[in-house]
Structure 1
Amino acid sequence: MDATLLQKIINGDKEAFRTFYNQQVDKALRVAILITKNRELAKEATQETFIRVYKNLSSFDSSRPFDPWFYRILTNECNRILKKESKMTHLPDYAEGKIKDPSIHNKEYSDLDEAIQSLNDLYRIPIVLKYLKGFSEKDISVALETNLNTIKSRLHKGRALLKDYLLELEDRGKNHV
C-alpha cells in the first residue's frame, strides 16, 4: 500500500479508505473465494476484513509490509467463518456443484481451479497466496503466522499434489477419447 494513502487513512481520511477499498476489494474477494470455496462466505469474510483493517490500522507497524498484514486478517476471517459454518449441518453450495462463478471458473483454467480446490487448506492457502497473489514465502509465513520452513514444505507438497491431480485428470481424459 502507498505510504501516503496509508497515513491518510490512519489520520481518519474516509475518502482515502474508500480509495484503498476500491483498489483492493476485487483482489481480496478472489482470494477469499479460493479459501472458502463459497462466494457468499467470501463476501462476508471480505467485508469483515475491511472493517477490521479500518478499526485496527492504528496498530499496524508501518515498518513492515502491508499486504501480509492485510491478507493475514483476510485469511483469519475466512477461517473464522468456515469454522462457524462447519458447525451447521448443510453442505456448502460449492460442494454440491451449485456455484458456478464465471470470474474463477474460466474454461481454460477449470482443471487447474479444480486441482487447487481439491487441496487441503494447509496446501491450498499458501499456493493461492504464492502463485495467485505473488507473495514471497516470507510474506506467506507472516500472513499465516507459520514458520518459513513449514511454508516452503507446504508449497513443495502442494505443487506435488497439484501435479499428481492434473496428471490424473489428463490420464482420465485420454482414456475417454
Structure 2
Amino acid sequence: MKTMARTQLPKLDTLSMVTMGLLMALQLVVSRFAISNQFMRLSFTFLVAALLAKWFGPWWGMMTAALVDIVGTLMTGGPYFVGFTISAIVGSLIYALFFYRQPITWWRIIVAQLLVVVLVNIGLNSEWLVIMYHTPLWGILPVRLMKEAVTTPIQIVLLAVVLKSHVVQNLEHRLKTKA
C-alpha cells in the first residue's frame, strides 16, 4: 500500500531557533516604533520579515509572521483582526519565494516588494480596513496609494542594503554551516 508523503517543516538546530526567536523579538520591538493611524502604518518590520523568510524559508517565515502579528496585537491591546494575520503570512510567503535560497538581486528585491505593496498593502490590508471600520474603499485608497508611492522606493533600497550587507551574509553563512 502506497503511503502519502507528509510535508514536514525543516528541522531547526539551537542556533536557528535562537536566531529566529531574536528576530521575532526584534520585529515586535521595531513595530512599537511605527508611525500609524487607523488607516496607515509606517514601520521597518518588513526588513525583519524579509530576513526571517530569507533565512528560514516559507514555512517558518509564515508561522513566525502569524505568531508575531498575534503577539504584537495582544501586546498593544489593539483590536485583533485575522485578516492582518493573513496579510502577514502572504507577505512572508512572497519574501520567501523571492529570497529563500536565491541570490539577492535588484530584480528580486523590486518584484518582491512591488508584489507585497500591491497584493498585501494596497489589496488585502485596504480590504481589511474597509471591513473593520465600515469605510468606503474609495475613501481610504487615495491616501494609501500616496503612502505606498512614497515609501516603496525607500523600502526597496533598504531591503537591498540589508539583504546585501556583509553582516547579513555572514550570519546567513553561519546559520547554514551551523558552526
TM tier, shorter chain? 0.3 to 0.5
Q: TM-score, normalised by structure 2?
A: 0.33
Q: TM-score, normalised by structure 1?
A: 0.33
